[in-house]
Structure 1
Amino acid sequence: MRCMSFQRARTDEQRGERRRQILATAAAMLTEMPVAELTLTALSRRVCLAKANVLRYFESREAVLLALLEAEVADWITELEAAPAADGSAAGERGDRFAELLATSLARRPVLCDLMSAQSTVLEHNISAETALRHKRAVHGYLEVLVRFTAGHLPELGDEDAAALMQSVMLVAVAAWPASRPPRAVLDAYATDPALAVMCVDFADVVRRTAAVTVSGLLARERQPR
């Protein structure tokens, strides 16, 4: 692989472009390998910068991946917002369609799912309080957008229930993603004893069922007398 000849970034525009190059390279690498295998050394080689130079723009590998996670979430939200608006059908039917939308859109984004599954256990370590604060503020902003998006499809849910729904979906997605991608030894065990294959998780199905059941429960609770 030939490296591009880089000059030192001196302006804000040049520094921003260098950050975008690093993030784009990390995103491309994550289509080839899981988060756990992406090292700062490998990233710096792929982007054709010394590790010290990568660290001029991001304080750590984890900071790179958190920034990439934020970009992936923003792209996901853009995709969701392009989906057709809810029609006048019954709330339960709209809830089922909304659950299908969330599940299928997440399943199409393996890089996002892999980053989300590593967020709390890996990516939020080895970062400064400043980076943590910036990241959490970004995540909070995205959650607010998702709550408004949910209300557009399911206006029967208030903001509190819409936030509860999105929180449940995201937590299940975080757990279901790695469970749906077992290592080779586990796949071999399933092949040896097909009865064990029932333990294999279908990511999209788990997210869809969880979202649909949660919507149904929240709607039922809204109908109960206060």
Structure 2
Amino acid sequence: MVCNVCDMTFQRARTDEQRNERRRQILDAAAAMLTEVPVAGLTLTALSRRVCLAKANVLRYFESREAVLLALLEAEIADWISELESATPGAGTAPERGDRLADLLATSLTRRPVLCDLISAQSTVLERNISADTALQHKRAVLGYLGTLVRFTGRHLPELGDEDAATLMQTVMLTAVAAWPGSRPPQAVLDAYAADPALAVMCVDFTDVVRRTTEVVAAGLLTRERQPR
């Protein structure tokens, strides 16, 4: 069909390769839109216009807007992990390496606002309009990513066992979920901070919160590992 919005011609995808390409185009469009609008502002109608497909045709590839965003979240996590794994574990004491790991995780997340937007909306928005099959597929993918992150943590902090490494990574993600929206207040709150500078202490610095929380949890886990049980 011919799309009047972006003047491109699309044909029905008939092979697996074509269908995968169409899914990739939809996800790329969604990622681009999330640099312009928050998760709540990305509608299926707007997305279908961006990729020059009828809404019904977008639903041939994803069962809902939320399913699109979950798939995008998985892709963003995979890209984040690829970035993390390019970092070489450094030398030093375990606490020093723990602090460096905390900084790496915090700064890398800060550079990925789309990922942070998606993980902060995962349980409250993205998982609310999907089928059990989509939920199962997504949770299995996330579990696989967690396993990869646990192994990554083990390379930087081998003193931690798998259980403590998983605890550390779960804490990082939960901290990001809570800190990201708090670090992006609406204009009315920003105006309140400007009107009363004393209130600015309530403004959340995302990078600092994730870094400090990760440092504290890593230090606590390392201390516990050294204690007799």
- Could you state the TM-score of these two structures normalised by the residue count of structure 1? 0.99
Distance 1:213 1:35 in 2: 31
Pair 1:158 & 2:135 matched: no
Deviation at 1:84, TM superposition (A): 1.7
Residue 90 of structure 1 is matched in structure 2 by: 93
Would you say the 8 A contact 1:147–1:159 is kept in 2? yes
Instruction: For structure 2, list consecutive stretches of 5 or more residues without a partner in the other structure.
Output: none
- Specify which of 67, 70, 80 is matched with residue 71 of structure 2: 67
Would you say the 8 A contact 1:157–1:219 is kept in 2? yes
Residue 41 of structure 1 is matched in structure 2 by: 45
Distance 1:65 1:91 in 2: 37
Cα deviations across residues 7-59 of structure 1 (Å, max 9, x unaligned)? 01111111111000000000011111111100000000010000000000000
Cα deviations across residues 186-220 of structure 1 (Å, max 9, x unaligned)? 00000000000000000000000000000000011
Amino acid at match of 1:36: A
Cα deviations across residues 88-122 of structure 1 (Å, max 9, x unaligned)? x1000000000000000000000000000000000
Amino acid at match of 2:61: Y
- 3-state SS, counterpart of residue 37 of structure 2: coil
Residue 61 of structure 2 is matched in structure 1 by: 57
Residue 22 of structure 2 is matched in structure 1 by: 18
Cα deviations across residues 56-100 of structure 1 (Å, max 9, x unaligned)? 00000000000000000000000000012232x100000000000
- 3-state SS, counterpart of residue 78 of structure 2: helix
- Specify which of 124, 139, 158 is matched with residue 142 of structure 2: 139
Would you say the 8 A contact 1:86–1:152 is kept in 2? no
Pair 1:174 & 2:177 matched: yes
- Specify which of 6, 9, 19 is matched with residue 13 of structure 2: 9
Would you say the 8 A contact 1:3–1:47 is kept in 2? no
Residue 199 of structure 1 is matched in structure 2 by: 202
Instruction: For structure 1, list consecutive stretches of 5 or more residues without a partner in the other structure.
Output: none
Distance 1:34 1:105 in 2: 20
Amino acid at match of 1:49: L
- 3-state SS, counterpart of residue 156 of structure 1: coil
Distance 1:186 1:63 in 2: 32
Residue 101 of structure 1 is matched in structure 2 by: 104
Distance 1:86 1:59 in 2: 44
Percent of pairs identical after alignment? 80
Distance 1:140 1:224 in 2: 30
- Specify which of 183, 186, 200 is matched with residue 186 of structure 2: 183
Deviation at 1:222, TM superposition (A): 0.7
Distance 2:167 2:36 in 1: 34
Amino acid at match of 2:175: V
Distance 2:26 2:147 in 1: 28
Structure 1 residue ranges, 4+ long, deviating more than 2 angstroms after superposition: none
Task: Supply the RMSD in Å over aligned alpha carbons.
Answer: 0.6
